[in-house]
Every structure is written in structure tokens, then in C-alpha cells.
Amino acid sequence: MNTATSTSHSSVALRDIVTLQGHILHQQKRHPGASGTFSWILSAISISAKMISAAVRRARLEDVLGSAGEQNVQGEQQQKLDVIANEILLRLLGGREGVAIVASEENEEPVILRADEDGEQRYCVLFDPLDGSSNLDICGSVGTIFSILRRVPGSPSGESALLQRGLEQVAAGYVLYGSSTVMMLTIGNGVDMFVLDPSIGAFVLVQKGLTMPARNKVYSLNEGNRLTLPEGYQKYLHWAQSNGYSSRYVGAMVGDVHRVLLQGGVFMYPPTKKAPKGKLRLMYEANPMAMLIEQAGGKAMAAPGQRILEVQPEGIHQRTCVVLGSAEEVDHVMAQVAPSEG
């Protein structure tokens, strides 16, 4: 072994290590007058992600796989880990002075934590605590998705304070609990990727300013729904299959979007007979993913001519059609779909 080379490699690696915390503090310094409130919120998300990651990895050993025996507000079976992840995020974020409201895909009503009386800038955090949780039993990828909005001073409290377009998001991201635990984060100036190093217990920056490929002949959707998709999507699938496309589908949005961000392609969940408005939730899933994808140079559409980020939400649990990914691949889908088909 060449000692000189290995020493120089390790010193370079040491010099270059940037943790999520360091990265956030650095960003904060670039905004003179920033109070640190926002950084504290991201630190609560980071700690939650480490706790959820640990719970996911120990789930089989601690017998917390399987259904919790309850349905969530969406009428879906809650897994035990859905409940655990939700609890972790609610507690950690609830302890942060800068959080005014939290809303979870698992809870019917948002939780109002702090009134807006002292004029402090506070934030609202929306999250899907464990997306794709039906993958848990087979050791497949799952993730946490989050979106941060400003609490507009003087806005009415509760749900109506949250009904802001995705364009208003201050930050968004997800944590993928896959073969490693990865966080993708945007605070509106590009997308950065962090990997949890379990040996030091910190998220380490591995890629700054990620740009996604403009094209890749891969589509990702639940093809079991094919016969009940609007005609335009069926035409797209016919076109893609006639043009040498591959199909990839994890069945957890975080896993599918992660692949699309890194390798390109298109992910979609169009309207189906079972879910005529689409299955995915605008505020917990579509908006944060759309912000990440656009920040990485891709496109995210709810219908032809309708960016996801421009949809005005009418309810916090509302669903939407989602087509996102490499700009050219999204254009190919939209070219086949009529505006009324969503």
C-alpha cells in the first residue's frame, strides 16, 4: 500500500468534510440579520431523520413492522413505523421556538404551536413522515418528505395559513432510508445532497448544486393502472415502449424521485380510476419534490401548462396528478396528454 498516497487522501477528505449543520450555519452567515431560527428548524429535521433512520434499520429486531391497526386521514392503513416517525417529527419540531404550525400527512388537522403575537418570524413545516411505508415489510426504500413555508405575519391561523403555493416554499427536501440514508435539500439556491455517516452520526455533504440529466429513456409509474389511465398517458406509454424506453418503479416516491434526480427519466402518478385526482398529495409530496426537481434543472407538472408549484392549494390534504423529472422527458409526456386529462 502506498502510505504517502493514503495519507494525502485522508487529509484531503478530512479537510473537505462539511456536515449539514456546518453547511446550514455557513448559509446563515450569508444572510446578515438571520436569527438562526430557520437553522434550528433544519437541525430538528436532521435529528428526526437520524432517529427515524435508526428505527427503520432496527424495525425487524424490535418488532415494529406491520400495521398499527388504524387508518390515517387518507383512509390508508397506518404502519407502526408511520406512527413512530410522525411522533418523532412532531416532538422535535414542536420543541423549536421558530415553528408556528406543523402539518403531517398522517393527521387530519394541523397543529398550531405558537400564536403570531410577538412579531417574530416563524415557519410552518409540512411533512410526510414515512412515505412509501408499505415497502417496510420487504426491506425496501422508504423516506421522509418535508416542506417549509413562512408563517405570513397576520395571516389567519390554522389550515388557511398553510394554503400557500409551492412557489412560496422556503426550503424542501427528503430523506431516503435506502442502502444508505441520504438527505436532499434545497433552500432555493440549488440542491445539495448529504449522506448520513453512521460512524460519526452526521449528515455529510457529498454533492453541492446537483444538476439532473436533461434526458434519459426511463419512465416510472405503476403500470398496473395502465388500463384506467387517461388516454394521453396510455398513448405516451405506447410511444415510450416503441422507442426503447426502460421502466423502473420502486413504489415509494422518495426512491423513485431519487433515481430520477440522479439518473434522469420521468416519474408520474396520473389520475386513475381508483384515484381520479391522482394519488399523491400536493402539499406533503408533490410540492417539495417539485421544488427539488426544478432547482436541479428539471420540470414538475400537474397537467399540460400547469406547473405543480403554481397550483393554489384549497385544502392541505388535496391530491394532484404528478409528472416530474428530466425536462425533455416531462415534455414527451405532456405532448401526449390533453389539459383536461390532468
- What does the binding site for Mg ion look like in residue numbers (CB under 5 A)? 128, 131
Return the one option of Mg ion, ligand AHM, none that residue 133 interacts with (CB less than 5 to 8 A, by type).
Answer: ligand AHM
User: Within 13 A of 168's CA, how many CA atoms are on the CB side?
Assistant: 17
Cβ count within 10 A of residue 292: 26
Phi-psi region of 284 (alpha: psi -120 to 50; beta: other; left: phi over 0): alpha
Rounded to whole angstroms, how far apart are CA atoms 185 and 102? 19
- Comparison of 116 and 131: residue with beta carbon closer to ligand AHM: 131
For residues 168-187, which are near ligand AHM according to CB under 6 A?
A: none
Rounded to whole angstroms, how far apart are CA atoms 297 and 264? 11
Residue 328 binding ligand AHM, by CB under 6 A: no
CB of 16 to ligand AHM, least distance (A): 34
Rounded to whole angstroms, how far apart are CA atoms 200 and 174? 21
- Comparison of 78 and 295: residue with beta carbon closer to Mg ion: 78
Among 128, 192, 294, 329, binds ligand AHM (CB under 6 A): 128
Reduced to 3 states (helix: H, G, I; strand: E, B; else coil), residue 135 is helix
For residues 233-252, which are near ligand AHM according to CB under 6 A?
A: 251-252
- Comparison of 76 and 197: residue with beta carbon closer to Mg ion: 76
- Comparison of 131 and 329: residue with beta carbon closer to Mg ion: 131
CB of 148 to ligand AHM, least distance (A): 19
Return the one option of ligand AHM, Mg ion, none that residue 228 interacts with (CB less than 5 to 8 A, by type).
Answer: none
Residue 132 binding ligand AHM, by CB under 6 A: yes
Q: What is the DSSP letter of 286?
A: I
CB of 254 to ligand AHM, least distance (A): 7
State the burial class of residue 255 (Cβ atoms within 10 Å of its Cβ: 0-12, 13-18, 19+).
Answer: buried
Q: Which grid coordinates are listed for 168?
A: 412560496
CB of 35 to ligand AHM, least distance (A): 33
User: Could you please report the per-residue DSSP string of 137-200?
Assistant: GGT--EEEEEEEEE--TTPPSTHHHH---GGG-SEEEEEEESSSEEEEEESSS-EEEEEEETTT
Grid cell 412560496 — which residue?
A: 168
Residue 131 binding ligand AHM, by CB under 6 A: yes
State the burial class of residue 239 (Cβ atoms within 10 Å of its Cβ: 0-12, 13-18, 19+).
Answer: middle
- Comparison of 100 and 291: residue with beta carbon closer to ligand AHM: 291
Contacts with ligand AHM by CB under 6 A: the residue count is: 11
- Comparison of 128 and 329: residue with beta carbon closer to Mg ion: 128
For residues 25-84, which are near ligand AHM according to CB under 6 A?
A: 76
- Comparison of 233 and 269: residue with beta carbon closer to ligand AHM: 269
Query: Binding residues for ligand AHM, per CB under 6 A?
Result: 76, 128, 131-133, 222, 251-253, 269, 279
